[in-house]
Structure formats: structure tokens, C-alpha cells
Structure 1
Amino acid sequence: MTTPAWENVSDAFMRNDKPYGGGAFRIRDSEVMTLKVTGPDTPFKPASEWKNPEIAEHTEPWMNNSGERLSRSTASFIRGTLDSGMTRYFQQQAQDGAWWYSKDWAAQYISTGWMDFTRQEPVNGLAPQITRLWRSIDGGRTWTQLKWPEDRNISYLKFLDPQRGYAIGWGPNVWRTADGGQTWQAIALPPMATDYRKPRKQFDAVDLGPDGLLRVAYYVGMLGEVRLSSVVYRLPWDKAQFEPDVVLPDQVVVRLGSTEEPPGHTYSIYALSRLGPQQTDGDQNDNGKRTGAISMWPGHRNPAVRQLQTFDERYSLTDMDVGKRGVLLVYAGDSSRRGAPHQITLYSQDYGKSWKDIDDGMTQGGWFDSLTNTQYALYAYTLRKRQF
């Protein structure tokens, strides 16, 4: 198994868009689009204007207030090409954003979540979040705000096509639309998915398979005969209730992913997990280390789960991508390494049978194109890619 090599795509990627950052970028040939959530630009005065020559001063007083800076964060949709530059077509106040786009890039949905950090924190610590939802059908150039209750958070947008999809948010809660977001139906949740003590609880992982099956994963202490395990439930598009899929004993799921297969073909689901029971905040017996694992099962009914690989506990698993023809990427930090954190990419090109790791240094963002097995990484203004 040879190590794929990086090649430079651009040395000035998003250089002219301030504040700096690539956002959740996507690339198709020379075309680029991104959903970028950033704080406001906070420039400093010239050194000659500082009252104290050793203390830099912002140009405006509000820039010294962290609540003001957080409240002025924005979510932007930006589109263009690597050669001709980028244009911002959408911008709203937000500290969080979720999005979905069609394969031809003609349709996009964006949800934004904004909190006012200039106000005093509520007694329960749960500052109100204002959620809004938008849709574009012309490639992101013009946007229509959809009707959406502002107190319903959206963490994920998962769509089969521009008309049919799901919004998933705190609670957790699941809503379904079949008319392009004009109306939404609340879906009954699987057992033990909620906790009255945690009104902003989320699923540990969510995935929408190529056949339209929505899968959600969450940890349960006890559910019938299941103990201290992650459970995965699935929801067919034409059904109103979730049904059991698999149980992953003694592990906490970090990420779900599925292979992209043609209609009628069996596809695979992969789960990235941390082994052991779920740790609670303040647990004195928790040393922060977890042995990570990746498991797989086929997308049909009553599947058997195979654990493909366990990873050294020095790797803190953060994410996973599933590609074509047996390519799997797992992202992690290395707790044994001193100094600035580096991204470690663990990869398999044979369906998880064998693995190698690469130290990719300090990246400022990335994306994996699962249709072409191409990985992109951003180093300052330099955009690189490599093929698996």
C-alpha cells in the first residue's frame, strides 16, 4: 500500500475573504462553494495610535468585548472558481450553521443558529438560540427564507433530493419534508433517545443511506436486554416510526457513514466508535483515553456487525469518511505527541483489512470527495489534494 502524495491546487485559496478561513468548502473541477461561519473582522489601530506602546488596540471599543464578538459572528455562503475568485451570496448572523446541497450543486439548504452573547446568561445556562432556514434553487445565488419555528434547533440537514429530506436538532428531534421545506412532519423518536435532564441532547451520529434510510446512533445505559451500548435505529422514507438496526456493545459511536451504491445494490454502513462506557462530565476515573474501533454491517434487514479494526489508544478519534472501492479514512489526534496538535489520517484501501497512518501536520480545514476518493486539505492559503 503506497502512501498517496499531496499536490498543490492553489496557493491563494480564499485569501481575499476576511476573516480568514476556508469554511466547509466543496470543490468540483475548478468550481468552489463553501459555508463559512466566522467571527467579525477585528483589526488593530496603527502602532503609532496605541496609548500604551506595548498593548495593541482595536479600532473600535466593542471589539474588546467577547460577547460582542460572538454575537457578531456570521454564516456565509460563498461560491466561485479557483481562477476567477469567490462571491458571497448569503450572509446571516450565526454562530452555527448546517447545510445540504444537491449533487449537481443546483439546490442548497442552509440553517443558522444565533445566540445573543451580550445578554446575561440564564439561570439554567441555556441561552435561547434563534434558528432560521433558507433554500436556494439556482446554485446559491438567490435565497428564500422558509417558515421555521425559531426555537427549533437544526444540527443536521439530510436530503434524498431537493424536495425530500430531514432536519435533525436538539432534543433530539427529527422532522421530515416532502415538499422542499414548505411543510414539516415531526417523527416519533426511538426509545430512550431523549433525556429530560438534557433538553439539548443530540444523537451521537446520523447518516442517510443511498436508499433513503435515515440512521441515528445513541448510547443507552439500559434498554430492555441491552446494557451500556450504542444502539442504531433506522427510518425508511415511507415509514412513520424508527425500527431497530444494530447494537454496538460497550462502545460510544462517534460517526456513521455509508457507501454510495447504485439503486438496488447492497451498500455498507460503517461506525466509528470509542470503546468502553460513556463517560460523564467530572468523572474522576476518566483518564480521557479511549481505544477506537471501526465496525461495518450491510444495509439490509437483520444485518450482522463485523468489527474491522481497533486503533491504538493514543489516537483520539474525531471523524471518518467512507469512499469508493474500499477506501476508508479515519481522523484523529495523537496524545503521545508533544507540541501543537497535528491531524493524523488513518487510511485503508482494502475495506478495512489493513491500515496505515499519516501525520498531516496542522491543517486549517479539509474535505473528502467520496465520489472520487480525493482528499483536500488547507494549510494557511495553500490548498492541496491527494488521491486514494
Structure 2
Amino acid sequence: MTTPGWQTISTTFMKNDEPYGGGDCRIQGNEVISLKLADPVITFKPVEQRKNPEYAEPTEAWMSNVYEVLNRQTISFFRGTVDGGLKRHFQQPGQDAAWWYSKDWGAQYISTSWMDYKIPQPKNGLSPEITRLWTSRDGGNNWSQLKWPEEQNIGQLLFLDPGRGYAVGWGPRVWRTADGGRSWKEIRVPELARDREQPRQRFGGVDLGADGVLRVAYYVDQMGEVRQSSVVDRLRWDSEAFEREVVLPGQAVVTIQSEQRSPGVYSIYALSRLGLPRDWNDRTDNGHRTGAISQWGNYAKPEVRQLHTFDARFTLDGLSVGQRGILLVYATDATGEGAPRDFTLASKDYGKSWIETDDGITQGVYFDPATNTQYGLYAYTLKKRMW
């Protein structure tokens, strides 16, 4: 098994948008959409206007204040072409965002989250956050705000089509809409997925299958005979309650992904870190764990198979599931000298065998599961390779 070579498709990708960054981009042929989180533009005084010519001095005082900079971060949506440039069609204040887009890019949803970093932090450490929800039905040209309780965070947006989908946020909490986001119904999550001492807890992984089944993964210390395991529960579109699907003993799930097939039999994959989750109260625990990938089917009472355990030097960051047995795992190796290196760990046979590719230091990665095409961004240079 060999690694396909990178092909350069642009050396000026989003070069004219300041501050520079490609954002979370999606590509179809020459067409591009991108959701970008950006700091405000910082400028500096000419040398003759500085108090000390040897040190750079920002043009305005707020540019030296990290809290002011955080408060001025923005979320932007761009659309355009690889060779012709991208145009901004949406911009809102925010330090975090989630989005969903239809296959034809005709409909989009974006949630923006903004926190005031200048106010004193509350005793519980949970500064208030304002979340807003937006939608476009004309390819991102025009946007409207949907009703949403601003105090409820949205970390993920997952939809079957422009009318039916889910919002998942802190708690963790799950909401469902069947009318394009005009109204939402909260779905009760599994009790053991929540921790009263951590009101902003998230699921370990979330996935929406092509058949409308929502899956959530969470870690439990003890649940009857189940101890120190990750649990994956599923919610059918026509159901109001989650049900147990599988248990992964001795693992903390990082992410779950399903094959994006038409409704029918398909596989679900879980990327996990072996052992206990990181203990943030233990200063000696750096969070590094050996990673593994597991698989099971979407039928009743599936059997979980652990397909592969990865080299201990890798920290697993993400997973993509493609067509015809393609699996890509994104990992970081920080064991060598210098900056951490980005790796793609790839399988072409449903996880039976793997190769590792050192991709250097990338500034963004996107995988198109419909075409098995991987994109990588290096400064202004956009590359692709087909698996």
C-alpha cells in the first residue's frame, strides 16, 4: 500500500483575507465554502512614532490587551472559487462556532458563541456565553437569525436534510427540529452521560447516520457490571428515548463516524484512547494515551471489533470514513525535536492494514468522503490527494 502524492491546486488560497487563515473549508471541484474564526487585524505604528524604536507598538491600545482581542474575534462564512477568490457573506462576533451544510450547499446553519472576556470570572469559573443560531437557504448569500435560547451552547449541528436535524451542546444536551429550526424539542440524554459537577460536559463523540440514527458516546466509571468504559447509545429519528448500542471497555472515545451510505446496513467506527480519561487534577497526567480504532454494524446487538492499536507516540485527533474501505486517522507526533508533526494514518481495507504519512505542519485538513479526496493547507498553498 502506497501513499498517493499531493497535487497543488492553489498557491494563493484566501491570501487576501486578513488575518490569514483558510478556515474550515469545503471544496467541490473549483467551488469553495469556508467557515472561519479570526482574530481582529492588529496593526503597528511606524518606527518614527514608537516610544522605543526597537519594539513594535500596536496602533491602538486595545491591540495589546488579550481580552480585548478575544472579544473582537469573529465568525465568517465565505463562498467563491479556488482560483477566483472567496467573498464574505456572513460575519458575527464569536470565539466558537458550529455549522452544517446540505450536499448541494444550498442550505446552511451556523451557530455562533460569544463570551465577554473582560468581565470578572464567576466563582464557579463558568463565564456566561451567548449563543445564536443562523440559517441561509440561498447558498449562503443571505442569512436570517433563528430563535434559540442564548444561554444554551451549541457544539455540533447534524442534519439529515435542511428541515430535519439535531443540535448538541453542553450538559450534554440534545435538541431536535423537524421544521428547519423554527422550533426545537429537547431530547432527554442518558443519565450517566451527565455529571452534576460539570455542567459544561460534552459527549466523547456524536454521529448522525444516513438512516437518521443519532449516536452519542460517553465515558462511565461504573454502570452496573460495566466499569471504566465508553458507552455508545443510539436515538432513532421516530423515537424519544436513547437505547444502548455497544460498550467499549477500557476506552475513552475521541470521536465516532459512520459510513455515509444510503439507509441499509453500514459500519460505525470509534476512535478511542485506551485507559482512563485524563485526570485534570493530577499534574503528572499529560493526557497522552495509546490510540485504537473499533468497528461495529448498525444492526441489532452488534459485536464490536477492535481493528487496530496505533503507535504510542501518536496523539489521535480525528477520523474520516470514506468509500470502499478508506479510513483516515489524523494524529500528532510531539515526541521528536522541534514542532509537533501532523500525520495521516490510512487504511484502504476497512482497517486491516495501515500506513503512516508525515504531512509536516498543516494549517487545515478536509476530507471529502464522496470522492475519497483529502485536502491540506500549507500557508497559502492548497493541496489535494485522492485515496
Q: Residues of 1 paired with 2:282 and 2:312: CA distance?
A: 19
Which residue in 2 is equivalent to 1:339?
Answer: 338
* Structure 1 letter corresponding to 2:113: G
Which residue in 1 is equivalent to 2:65?
Answer: 65
Which residue in 2 is equivalent to 1:208?
Answer: 208
Q: Report Cα offsets for 1:9-61 as digits up to 9, x if no partner.
A: 10000001111101100001100000101110111122232210111011111
Which residue in 2 is equivalent to 1:281?
Answer: 280
Change over 3 Å in CA distance of 1:280–1:186 after alignment to 2:
same
Which residue in 1 is equivalent to 2:304?
Answer: 305
Q: Report Cα offsets for 1:323-377 as digits up to 9, x if no partner.
A: 1100011111113211011101110011100000011001111100111000000
Which residue in 2 is equivalent to 1:115?
Answer: 115
Which residue in 1 is equivalent to 2:228?
Answer: 228
Q: Residues of 2 paired with 1:174 and 1:287: CA distance?
A: 30
Please give the TM-score of this superposition, normalised by the length of structure 1.
Answer: 0.98
Q: Residues of 2 paired with 1:344 and 1:321: CA distance?
A: 13
Which residue in 1 is equivalent to 2:193?
Answer: 193
Structure 1 gap ranges (5+): none
Q: Report Cα offsets for 1:173-219 as digits up to 9, x if no partner.
A: 00000000000001011131111100100101100011110000000
* Structure 2 letter corresponding to 1:298: G
Q: Report Cα offsets for 1:110-133 as digits up to 9, x if no partner.
A: 000000111111121111000000
Which residue in 1 is equivalent to 2:97?
Answer: 97
8 Å CA contact 2:278–2:286 kept in 1: the answer is no
Which residue in 2 is equivalent to 1:365?
Answer: 364
Structure 2 gap ranges (5+): none
What's the CA shift for 1:262?
A: 2.1
Which residue in 2 is equivalent to 1:272?
Answer: 271
* Structure 2 letter corresponding to 1:135: T
Name the SS for the 2:43 alignment partner.
coil
Name the SS for the 1:160 alignment partner.
strand
What's the CA shift for 1:285?
A: 5.6
Q: Residues of 2 paired with 1:287 and 1:100: CA distance?
A: 33
Q: Report Cα offsets for 1:39-96 as digits up to 9, x if no partner.
A: 1011112223221011101111110111100000000001011122211110000000
Q: How does 1:42-57 map to 2 (within 5 A)?
A: 42-57=42-57
Q: Residues of 2 paired with 1:288 and 1:269: CA distance?
A: 25
Name the SS for the 1:192 alignment partner.
helix
Q: Report Cα offsets for 1:154-176 as digits up to 9, x if no partner.
A: 00000000000000000010000
Q: Residues of 1 paired with 2:296 and 2:284: CA distance?
A: 33
8 Å CA contact 2:334–2:341 kept in 1: the answer is no
Which residue in 1 is equivalent to 2:155?
Answer: 155
8 Å CA contact 2:279–2:287 kept in 1: the answer is no
Q: Residues of 2 paired with 1:164 and 1:121: CA distance?
A: 37
Which residue in 2 is equivalent to 1:351?
Answer: 350
Which residue in 2 is equivalent to 1:171?
Answer: 171
Q: Residues of 1 paired with 2:197 and 2:313: CA distance?
A: 32
Q: Report Cα offsets for 1:97-154 as digits up to 9, x if no partner.
A: 0000000000000000000111111121111000000010000000010000100000
* Structure 2 letter corresponding to 1:358: T
Bigger mean CA deviation after superposition, 327-336 or 373-382: 327-336
1:315 is the counterpart of 2:314: yes
Name the SS for the 1:62 alignment partner.
helix
Which residue in 1 is equivalent to 2:24?
Answer: 24
% same residue? 60
Q: Residues of 2 paired with 1:284 and 1:65: CA distance?
A: 29
Which residue in 1 is equivalent to 2:145?
Answer: 145
* Structure 2 letter corresponding to 1:243: E
Instruction: Tell me the matched-pair count.
Output: 387
Name the SS for the 1:67 alignment partner.
helix
8 Å CA contact 2:229–2:252 kept in 1: the answer is yes
What's the CA shift for 1:223?
A: 1.1
Name the SS for the 2:193 alignment partner.
coil
Q: Residues of 1 paired with 2:284 and 2:36: CA distance?
A: 38
What's the CA shift for 1:284?
A: 5.1
